[in-house]
Amino acid sequence: EPPDTPKDFSCHTQDMKRVTCTWTEGETYLYGQNSPRYTLSKTSSQKMSLCEASCSKQCSCSWDIGQQRIWNVTVTVENPLGKKTATDVFDVKHRMYPTAPLQVWEDSTDTEITLHWNYENIGIELFWQTEVLQPDGKAELHNSSNVESRHKRITVRGLQPYTEYAARVRCGAAKHFWRWSEWSQPLPIRTKEGTPSGKLDMWREITPVLGGRNVTLFWKKTSSFQANGKIISYEVTWEKLEDGSKPESFSFSSVYNSTRIFVDNHSYRISIMAKNNVNFSLPSVLIISGAPDNSRSIFSTEELKEGRVNGTEDGILISWEPRSIYDSYVIDWCNFPRLQPCDLQWKRFGPNTSSAVISSAAFVPGVRYRFRIYGSVANKASLLEKKIGYLRELPPQLDPIVRKLDLTYNSVTLSWDSNLTNESEPGFLRGYHVYVSPIQGNCNLKGSQKHILPDDSVLCKYTIENPEEKRYTVEHLMPSTKYKIAVKAFTGGGETHIVNFRYIDTPYNSNTLYFVFLLVIVPALVAAVCHWKMKWVKECCCPVIPSPNKSKVLSFKEYKIDAEKVLKINDCIPDVLAVDSNAEAQKL
């Protein structure tokens, strides 16, 4: 192909002595003797070449400019198939492209750095720019004007002590700016150490012991605390407030973040400071009240009832009743409550806060966490409330143990013991479920709910919503029937699947035997006796000559003589007439 017009053709100088022109080479698919030939010349005299071009990734050509400042140059590209040209007209002072500064060095304090470098004077005023790369990756640019001496420098202020930075420098023409030079090589810089700023966050746990109290102190760095160097130690000081005794102090290595001290039952002022190679930080202060004055917040914490709190997607929600007398609140807890001693954590909140979501990467479902809420005023803290809760409740892993079964023909009374303790519960125990079903068929007992198992079999379910109730009677069972029974505890996380059943056989109904005895056995006995004493029964019930006193027919009150019933003879026609005895006859 014939050559294209040279692209990106432009010329510049770096030292006001020599001009370099550059352009991009096009593809002609011709090689060897037929490759494109480039000629750079003055436009007014193209027969006179200014320089010999060299091409690799980019073509360039340089020549000495002497005293000439205005140039009109043309580049010509030619091969056997054609020729193309490109022209550039420029003032050398307007095409300044300085070289990058070399040999940059620095000196620093805790808050500023000064960059130094040497640069040859090229006869024009230069404008300098310094880039400082912050630890967070952001870059800050600082500008400065030309310095007449060969030795250049720029000072950057407002930096953080003992912090890693990276700096580099570039320059451009102050007048008729065309383009920046390349950056110098980045120079890593660490500012010097300074006095620590801010205070450590300190907290305590108080344990009453014989003769006084063990005070475990914890401390941590907060976002407002800046070490401004390498922390080499912590200094803890405590002094009694009542009698103005001499303070006691102890220094700890920087690897520690807690310690324990013993104090008596008086009030104490405890402080801690962080120390680096320059100085101490400001002290963080706690006031420990004397035992009599602080009995509620230290020695009688058991009097506070633990309230329940709930987990959310972001953590565990804690709320409390605000009090106007406190200037801040503190919540403490243990990330791993089953470990002893636990790793106490705490968080501070402002006076207008009455709820907070406590989150931690250590929180896991099924573990009970305890929280204590303190009110703080003038560095003195008092326990206000206690809370317990879960990130998420889980079902109990252990089933209640059924200890006793009391059976009748139509009921069973269950008694059980719970294997769960408050600490081991994976959730708050809400109650129990009793499941019953006959071995053959599904269950439909009166007063129960249906519960369908994965195999589609149906159980009867009874709910006991009182966790303290560990006895229940299932009624309306069938006599002489085999049943399966299970007792499950449930929490806010539900319950586990039923795996093990207990089996019972209801006895025969004794009342049915009793009724059978009354309806069959007794009449049979009576019939046998009657048959055995037939003559006596006949004489008693159906005599040949009825006795007036035994006859139910003779029930008329007017036929009585001296309380004896009288049978009027004209009332019946007798078959036989006889006199019983002379004595009876005389009496009649």
pLDDT for the residue 297: 40
pLDDT value at position 213? 93
Task: Report residue 104 CA to chain centroid gap.
Answer: 50
Domains and CATH numbers, the chain: 7-94 (2.60.40.10), 104-190 (2.60.40.10), 200-288 (2.60.40.10), 312-390 (2.60.40.10), 402-506 (2.60.40.10)
Task: Give the per-residue pLDDT at 383.
Answer: 94
CB neighbours of 100 closer than 8 A, spacing ≥ 6? 170, 181, 182, 183, 184
Where the chain has pLDDT below 70, the residues are 28, 46, 146-150, 292-302, 420-423, 510-518, 533, 535-573, 579-588
| Global confidence as pTM | 0.69
Under 8 Å between Cβ of 392 and 365: yes
Residues paired with 417 in a beta bridge:
401
Burial 110-141 (b: 16+ CB within 10 A, else e): bbebebebebeebebebbbbbbbbeeeeeeee
d(CA 157, CA 160): 9
pLDDT value of residue 404:
82
Which pLDDT value is given to residue 281?
95
At 398 the pLDDT is: 87
